[in-house]
Amino acid sequence: MAEVLGLTQLKVGQRVKIKGNPGANGDFRALEVNVKPGEDPAVMEGKIQAVDPENRTIRIMNREIKLGENVEIKNIHRQPISFEDLQEGDLIKLKGGYSESEGFVPKKAKLQIFKGFDIEELQGYINRIDAHTGVLDVLGFQVVVDSDAEIEGF
């Protein structure tokens, strides 16, 4: 694998914002990686692939995410909506927490306006780095960082 410029400057525990595309096998291909300061919540932003009202789950980035009764859900105008208002194809931003034992646990959900392109986003802390294969573990995703990805913000 060709060396990825900037990959060696990334460190476990850094907060990053990653834009890219989820793969069918649960990985995430990074187009852009930005180191972010602060202790903001974990974030997933992407298109809803499926809605399961019976289990209060949505499928986003090829993952099932439970939206518990206490999750605040808002539309693009920041008005509260119910789980039943969510539809396949909606662009949604989830904010919450992440642990390896519980996975991603959303606390807030807000519908987003489409930006005209299919780029999805993860924000969270780097749990592991494999510089040899160019893979980061962020929010339980194996994030593939190849020579096409831009890394900024050290």
Taking the C-alpha atoms of residue 41 and residue 17, their distance in angstroms, rounded to an integer, is 11
The pLDDT-based confidence of 5 (bands split at 50, 70, 90) is: low
Residue 25: both structure tokens together:
């096998």
pLDDT of residue 45: 96
Taking the C-alpha atoms of residue 61 and residue 95, their distance in angstroms, rounded to an integer, is 15
Q: Provide the β-strand partners of residue 124.
A: 16
Quick one: which H or E segment has residue 23?
none
Q: What is the pTM of this model?
A: 0.87
Report how far Cα 77 is from the mean position of its chain's Cα atoms.
Answer: 22
- pLDDT tens for residues 13-61? 999 999 999 987 888 999 999 998 877 789 999 999 999 999 999 999 9
Inter-residue contact 106 to 70 (CB < 8 Å): no
Average pLDDT, the chain: 90
Among candidates 122, 14, 110, 145, which has minimal Cα distance to 62? 122
For residue 120, the tally of other CB atoms under 10 A from its CB is 18
Taking the C-alpha atoms of residue 149 and residue 144, their distance in angstroms, rounded to an integer, is 9
Outline where 32-140 has alpha helix (H).
none
Taking the C-alpha atoms of residue 95 and residue 72, their distance in angstroms, rounded to an integer, is 10
